[in-house]
Amino acid sequence: MHDTVDKTDQSALVLRGLGVSYGVIQAVRGLELTVNRGEIVTLIGPNGAGKSSTLMATVGLADREGTVELLGQDVSEFGTEQLVRAGLTLSPEGRRIFPYLTIAENLRLGGATAKNPKEIEQRMLERFPKLRARYTQTAGTLSGGEQQMLAIARALMSDPKVVLLDEPSLGLAPKIVDAIFETIADLKTLGISVLLVEQDVERALQIADRGYVMSHGEIQVQGSSSDLLTNTDLKDMFFGERK
Amino acid sequence: MTEIFAQQVLNALALGGVYALLGLGLAMVFSVLGMINFAHGEIMTLGGYTMVFISATFGWPFLLAVILSFCVAAGSAALIERVAFRPVRGASLTTMLLTTFAISSILHVLFQNFISPRPIALAVPSWLTSTLDLGGMRIGTLQSISITVTLVALSGLVAFLRFSTLGLAMRAAAQDFTITRLMGISANRVIVSAFAISGLLAGLSGFLWVAQRGSVDPLMGFVPVLKAFIAVVLGGMGSLGGAVLGGFLLGILEVTLRASLNESLLPFRDAISLSLIIGFLVLRPNGLLGRSDAVR
């Protein structure tokens, strides 16, 4: 274990031997995963594979074994709040915005640890103009797509270096999905590293640099996105109807 | 007739204000931990004893004793969270509820054995029990102060919850505590602040209650906190605004029944008001402003 930051390390997030258990059920075991700086990595797999558990455990919202390194620093003992302050954040599955707070309040909370929250908020409102139009409205009154935009904007308000996104396109109209994927791809240009869990496997691999395929709590396959997109076994598993 | 009516309105608002403050204290802790703190009444009592001892033993000015009692109530609530609730955080709801009963019992015994099982009188200043003449109408000073203190406290709390980051985090925690931690805000800070504010509100209501009764006893907090709990349920579990509304409505209901029931029915006043509330909850199980997802 090392507590100092290694500036030469190109990895943004490293999970080593990550394990997650719920009572006697082991949801994730021995998971090894790396996201390099400025890289988009996708974690795909069938329902119940342990993808969301991996993300929740990474940010300290589920008990875990193993080690977590963030920007070259061992943060395994950090609590969720410390991890956010250190530059890691999660946009959780199901959006989980605060429905009875306004959009302005949701964003303000998201930026509670940021040095320049007003500036980041302006950037978010430029990126998501619908949020500006409904700024004083309670978040629960937004459509599903708008809520997803708010969830991503809220996560970005903390000025993170690494963002974990859990099923950002789930249940959204195709047009909204396009906008969401465009935003995720843009994060790379801002130097933000992304670990993306997504059920739309093909879309996820199209914007990702690399991918990990998870099943029964373990990584089964990993590789570059182009390799995974042409992997016959994966095609059978995920894009069967397109064969 | 008009004067009697005005007096009853003031009585209702004053009593409702105490229930609202206490109910809001219960609701604040409920909103972050999903548990009703039944030791809340003992914190109110502790505030009352602080007032009595500081003004009687040290002879300090009454207002100073009142302010110190607020500090003791807020501090003791925060201390109880640190010593008793934090170690069992994450345990089952039943364990946490049993912890609140245990703290309540321990404080009871301490009050009885180290202070007195009998009521101790508080020398309430005469200006507090006097009446004001407003355009020919005589209004009790204490009732007026009760209403003013309640309104100021509620306004201050609304401003805190709306404009401060910590207050905003408390409102967010009431909706989704797990995700509030993802905002980089310390869970411990949110919880201990909720307890401290809840204690401050117990201290405020303790002052109003003791000033009305003129004495403090070990069981003083039991009945008002039970009423405040009813107010929270009536207003809707998990809703801070609901707790305030429920408190005022319960106060109005009790004073109306007290004024309108004939003498033979007066002993059944609480039973009647509870029956009415239960009837209302049958029709509206989540209370006035409650949400179906609030009870965790």
Q: Is A133 exposed, middle or buried (0-12, 13-18, 19+ CB in 10 A)?
A: exposed
Q: Do B179 and A80 touch (CB under 8 A)?
A: no
Residue of B nearest to A114 (CA): B184
Q: Phi first, then psi: what are they for B290, rounded to 5°?
A: -75, 160
Residue A242 placed within a domain: no
CA A179 to chain centre: 16
Instruction: List residues of A whose CB lies inside 8 A of any B CB.
Output: 59, 61, 79-81, 84-85, 89-90, 92, 96, 98-101, 105, 108-110, 112-113, 154-155, 158
Give the model's confidence band at B10: pLDDT under 50 very low, under 70 low, under 90 confident, else very high. confident
Q: Quick one: closest CA in B to A101, which residue?
A: B172
Q: Is the pLDDT of residue A6 over 90?
A: no
B182 has a chain A CB within 8 A of its CB: yes
In this predicted structure, what is the pLDDT of residue A236?
72
The Cα of A203 is separated from the nearest Cα of chain B by a number of Å equal to 27
Chain A residue numbers touching B180 (CB-CB < 8 A): 109
Between A23 and B194, the more confident residue is B194
Q: Determine whether the interchain pair A98/B187 forms a contact, defined as Cβ–Cβ distance below 8 Å.
A: no
For residue A85, give the chain B residue with the closest CA: B184
Question: Which two tokens mark A237?
Answer: 């598993």
CA distances from B155 to B145, B159, B234 (A): 15, 6, 21
pLDDT tens per residue, range B272-291: 999 999 999 999 998 998 76
**Interchain contact B95–A (C-beta under 8 A):** no
What is the token pair recorded at A179? Answer: 């906008």
Enumerate the residues of chain A whose CB falls inside 8 A of the CB of residue B171: 98, 100-101, 105
Residue B276 pLDDT: 94
The reported pLDDT for the residue numbered B292 is 58
Average pLDDT over chain B reads 90
Is residue B171 less than 8 Å (CB to CB) from chain A? yes
Q: Tokens 């002052």 identify what position?
A: B207
Q: Is residue A187 part of a domain?
A: yes
Residue of chain A nearest B179, judged by CA positions: A96
Query: Angle, nearest 10°, between helix axes B187-213 and B62-80?
Result: 140
Task: Measure CB to CB from residue A84 to each of B165, B172, B184 and give the nearest one.
Answer: B184
Confidence of residue A2 (pLDDT cuts 50, 70, 90): very low
What are the tokens at B137?
Answer: 């109408």
**CB-CB: which of B165, B182, B186 is closest to A59?**
B182
Residue type, A33: L
- A6 domain-assigned: no
ipTM over 0.95? The verdict is: no
Indicate the residue of A90, A100, A108 with minimum beta-carbon distance to B182. A90
Q: Is A25 left (phi over 0), alpha (psi -120 to 50) or beta?
A: beta
Q: What is the pLDDT of residues B204-259, one digit of tens each?
A: 999 999 998 899 999 999 999 999 999 999 999 878 889 999 999 999 999 999 99
Residue B291: what pLDDT?
A: 67
Residues 6+ apart with CB under 8 A from A192: A38, A156, A160, A161, A162, A163
Q: How many domains does chain A have?
A: 1
Does A154 score more than 80 pLDDT? yes
DSSP per-residue codes, chain B: -HHHHHHHHHHHHHHHHHHHHHHHHHHHHHHHHS---TTHHHHHHHHHHHHHHHHHHS---HHHHHHHHHHHHHHHHHHHIIIIIGGGTTS-HHHHHHHHHHHHHHHHHHHHHHT-SS-EE----HHHH-EEEETTEEEEHHHHHHHHHHHHHHHHHHHHHHHSHHHHHHHHHHH-HHHHHTTT--HHHHHHHHHHHHHHHHHHHHHHHHHHHSEE-TTTTHHHHHHHHHHHHHH-TT-HHHHHHHHHHHHHHHHHHHHHS-TTTGGGHHHHHHHHHHHHHHH-TTTTT--TT---
CB of B184 within 8 Å of a chain A CB? The answer is yes
**Beta carbons of A109 and B176 less than 8 Å apart:** no
Contact B179 A96 (CB under 8 A): yes
The stretch B176-205 carries a mean pLDDT of 94
Q: B181 and chain A: CB distance < 8 Å anywhere?
A: yes
Q: Are A212 and A196 in contact (CB under 8 A)?
A: no
Distance to chain A for B174, nearest Cα, Å: 9
Mean pLDDT value of segment A230-243: 67
Q: Do A61 and B178 touch (CB under 8 A)?
A: yes
Q: Are residues A101 and B171, on separate chains, in Cβ contact within 8 Å? A: yes
pLDDT at residue A3 in the model? 47
Q: Residue A130 belongs to what domain range?
A: 11-237
The shortest C-alpha distance from A208 to chain B (Å) reads 24
Among the residue ranges A136-150, B100-114, B139-153, the one predicted with the least confidence is B139-153
User: Is residue A205's pLDDT more than 60?
Assistant: yes
User: Closest Cα to residue A15, out of A54, A46, A42?
Assistant: A54
Whether residue B27 has pLDDT greater than 70: yes
Are B187 and A81 a contacting pair at CB < 8 A? Answer: yes
Q: What is the pLDDT of residues B52-94, one digit of tens each?
A: 999 888 878 889 999 999 999 999 999 999 999 899 887 888 8
What is the predicted pLDDT for the residue at B55?
A: 87
Q: Which residues of A91-114 are buried (b: 16+ CB within 10 A; e: fewer)?
A: bbbebbbbbebbbbbbbbbbbbbb
Nearest beta carbon to residue A109 from set B169, B178, B186:
B169
Does B164 contact chain A (CB < 8 Å)? no
CA–CA min distance A98, chain B (Å) = 6
